[in-house]
Amino acid sequence: MTTLSLPDEIDHVGLTDSRFTVPGIRCAGCIAKIERGLQEVDGVDAARVNFSAKRVAVRHDRSLDAETLVAALGRLGFEAQSAATNPLGQDDIESRTLLRAVAVAGFGMMNIMLLSVSVWSGAGGVTRELFHWLSALIGLPVVAYAGRPFFSSAVMALRHRRTNMDVPISIGVLLATGLSVYETATGGEHAYFDSAVMLLFFLLVGRALDSTMRNKTRAGIGSLLSRMGKSARVVAPDGSTKSVAAEDLSPGMLMLVAAGEALAADGVIEEGRSSIDNAMLTGESIPQAVGFGDAVHAGAINMGDPIRVRVTAASSDTVIAEIARLMDEAGQSRSYYVRIADRASRLYAPTVHTLALLAFGGWMIAGVGLHQSLVIAIAVLIITCPCAMGLAVPAAHVVASGVLARRGLLVKDGSALERLAEVDIALFDKTGTLTIGEPVPEIRHLSRERKSIALALAQSSRHPLSRGLARALEAEGVTPAVVCSLSETGGTGICGSWGVTRVALERTEILGGGLSSTLRIGKDRVDIQFLDPMRPDVVETLHALKTCGIDSRILSGDRQMSVNALARELGITSAAEMRPEAKLTLLYALGKEGHRPLMVGDGINDGPALAAAHASIAPSSASDVSQQAADAVFLGRGLMPVALAVEVARRTMRIVRQNFGFAIAYNVVAVPLAIAGLLTPLIAAIAMSLSSLVVVGNSLRLARDTKHQPT
Amino acid sequence: MNVLAYLIPVALAFGGAGLAMFFWAMRNGQFEDLDGAANRILIDDEEPKE
């Protein structure tokens, strides 16, 4: 087995590390296949798959470049993309800091509790003093370390003259610690290090849960512009060519685009005929034939012969850059959404401060002395400390996202669940969303011999139709025939010789008959029809959404005819031939009418709509961009996770509201007791922990209820 | 009460060792790929004979 720890600088042996995002890693077999397969590539020292992040780290010779490795992964059957060199995103660092803080707080809590128990059970005199000093020795560094996430956030809020949940927490913890140090130094009876550290521990657990969940699905997603061609060969007037970086291209230049290259700018074809893969822009997986005068867009991949393209728009003016900008802007509006916990804390924090201050002032006036008044104020701060509140939301979200993950839906963050619960209309893209998005061939009429020849031909081509055919044949257990001297001509097909017979798999000449290929064996020809079948449970899913009170519509960039046919079959309304801007406009219009639309789509052309919708879901077969823009990603061939997501999200919000209800009820009972001076900080800390447990327990019901549900 | 002189340092040392171990594990990337570890157990060491 290969093991690989990855220090960042390993110059000395001429090796370097590269990382690739490989969304197709699904099982142990994939891990083994990739790690073994890459090891056989010359110049690769070691490869290690990170299954959770769907990433592969490769240590390889400097002479090997990323494209070679991507191609090697492609040959192994995995689509890969070069990922940023820095393996740790900002989010990752945050959740690591939180985990460390949890560990430190847990360590401190256990040890201080150990000491405190003996103090409560009546240790006195020198022993008590010694234990207090020991507690201080453990407690001070622990508070200083584990409290940082709260302190820094509180300071940030105060600096902007705002207040948040972290302000009362910080004040409570610092006051309790300060008072305990004073008590310890003066040989007093009580020290509250235990309360302070316990509080930090429970709060940190809530934060860490929240952050872990957020990171889980965000990992390993590439960015939009990385797909665009990075450079182009530009033909000078004298006929010589030179490579020009994408951002230096300008309108009027003539690009030479070789087969397999991605276009670096928008343009019009001046010379040559070819087929281009426009999947990036349209989501359409079938290459489009193009010739003189046709417009082509950056990001499209030339599948056939070399073409010469006159640049009409470059870098930030290209259609794909425009989509990126639309997405960015659309995403902004969503960030105005205020999470329920923040809404609660806006009211909560000032109330808590006022109450604590009032309690302190009241008892001072009542004349119990500074010390007693402070203890009461601390008890109020601790008991109202939003532990149950802090856990109310993340605990329910973590359980819900776990439930959904088991059913094949990955939710990106908690706010996504909240928004999913609120949707009231669902908009579906057609190709790749309602349909599976990959061509499935009709192969029943083929004989055994034909099947094995077809497989031999299809498996050596990267054309989407060939790949679909190869997949279907392999699934039937067909073994490929021996076909040699294979050669592929872009736009036409692939041919070779089977014994002495010429065989070929090529484009069907009669157009308008949908998707099909022709298999030619000698003089014998047979057509293979391809269909893009609907996902198997579309009807059930739409029905389930309907019972949740959600109407569905189709919103597609596809042709009117095929969209209408599908809409009629499903009995829902549709809008066809929608450009990305049109989809956006429609979403905004729906928003204005007071609707909260759920967008389900996969193509890059759906990207802006996914970002703008109140909530959005993309299939895992979607482009990276769409997966990044969407709130959730569903796996597998079924569409049911979409309906399930809405249902679970709604149940989650019910649980969250119950949790809040409980937390508020608990405060209503406990706060007056604390203000009345009946609770010491220790009892307050215990009560607070108990309330947290109730909230966590309530959230766990979510998992149980869902388990009992018939699927 | 003399026993405390041993027990408290021992308790702290154990706790500290646990904490140090956790930090080491985290720095060493033991938590990088939790799902992967669950799957790797299924990989055969030998490639199956075709």
Whether residue A219 lies within 8 A of chain B, CB to CB, comes out as: no
Per-residue model confidence as pLDDT tens digits over A254-284: 888 877 677 888 888 888 887 787 766 655 5
**Interface predicted TM-score (ipTM):** 0.81
Mean pLDDT of A23-50: 83
Smallest CA–CA distance from A96 into chain B, residue: B26
Collapsing DSSP states into helix, strand and coil, what is residue A18? Answer: strand
Q: What whole-number distance in Å separates Cα of residue A21 and Cα of residue A25? A: 10
pLDDT for A220 equals: 35
pLDDT for A556 equals: 82
Per-residue model confidence as pLDDT tens digits over A327-353: 666 655 555 555 666 666 666 667 777
Contact A27 B39 (CB under 8 A): yes
Whether residue B48 lies within 8 A of chain A, CB to CB, comes out as: no
Residue A175, amino acid:
L
User: Any idea what DSSP says for residue A475?
Assistant: H
pLDDT-derived band at A517 (thresholds 50, 70, 90) equals: confident
Per-residue model confidence as pLDDT tens digits over A403-432: 887 777 877 766 788 888 888 999 998 877
Whether residue A137 lies within 8 A of chain B, CB to CB, comes out as: no
The answer to whether A384 and A667 are in contact (CB under 8 A) is yes
Rounded to the nearest angstrom, the minimum Cα separation between A219 and chain B is: 11
pLDDT for A262 equals: 76
Provide the token pair at A260: 């397999």
Whether residue B27 lies within 8 A of chain A, CB to CB, comes out as: no
The answer to whether A46 and A39 are in contact (CB under 8 A) is yes
Q: What whole-number distance in Å separates Cα of residue A102 and Cα of residue A212? A: 13
- Closest by CA position to A423, among listed A214, A253, A646: A646
Residue A429 among the catalytic residues: yes
Strands A307-313 and A266-271: antiparallel
- Closest by CA position to A357, among listed A167, A200, A177: A167
Q: What whole-number distance in Å separates Cα of residue A485 and Cα of residue A501? A: 12
Beta strands across the sheet bearing A307-313: A241-245, A231-235, A254-257, A307-313, A266-271, A295-296
Q: What is the pTM of this model?
A: 0.63
- Closest by CA position to A190, among listed A106, A113, A107, A116: A116
Per-residue model confidence as pLDDT tens digits over A166-215: 777 788 788 888 888 988 888 877 777 887 888 788 778 777 776 766 55
Interface of A with B in 242-281 (CB under 8 A): none
pLDDT-derived band at B20 (thresholds 50, 70, 90) equals: very high
Q: What whole-number distance in Å separates Cα of residue A314 and Cα of residue A523? A: 47
A7 vs A273, residue with greater confidence? A273
Furthest-apart CA atoms within chain A: distance in Å: 109
In chain A, residues with a C-beta closer than 8 Å to the C-beta of B17 are: none
Q: What whole-number distance in Å separates Cα of residue A243 and Cα of residue A253? A: 12
Mean pLDDT of A471-482: 81
In chain B, residues with a C-beta closer than 8 Å to the C-beta of A104 are: 19
* Mean model confidence pLDDT for chain A: 78
Helix axis angle for A538-547 and A640-675, nearest 10°, is 30
Pick from A29, A50, A110: which is nearest to B15 by CB? A110
Contact A31 B47 (CB under 8 A): no
Rounded to the nearest angstrom, the minimum Cα separation between B10 and chain A is: 11
Q: What whole-number distance in Å separates Cα of residue A461 and Cα of residue A467? A: 7
Catalytic residue among A429, A602, A606, A631: A429
CA distances from A525 to A178, A498, A505 (A): 88, 15, 10
Residue of A31, A102, A113, A410 for testing the chain B interface, max B β-carbons within 10 Å? A31
Rounded to the nearest angstrom, the minimum Cα separation between B12 and chain A is: 7
pLDDT-derived band at A216 (thresholds 50, 70, 90) equals: low
Whether residue A133 lies within 8 A of chain B, CB to CB, comes out as: no
Contact A127 B1 (CB under 8 A): yes
Whether residue A134 lies within 8 A of chain B, CB to CB, comes out as: yes
Collapsing DSSP states into helix, strand and coil, what is residue A695? Answer: helix
pLDDT for A157 equals: 82
Residue of B31, B32, B35, B41 for testing the chain A interface, max A β-carbons within 10 Å? B32
Give DSSP secondary structure letters for A46-92: EEEEETTTTEEEEEEETTS-HHHHHHHHHHTT---EE--S----HHH
Question: Out of A451-465, A499-513, A533-547, A560-574, which region has the weakest mean confidence (pLDDT)?
Answer: A499-513
Contact A107 B18 (CB under 8 A): yes
Q: What whole-number distance in Å separates Cα of residue A110 and Cα of residue A304? A: 67
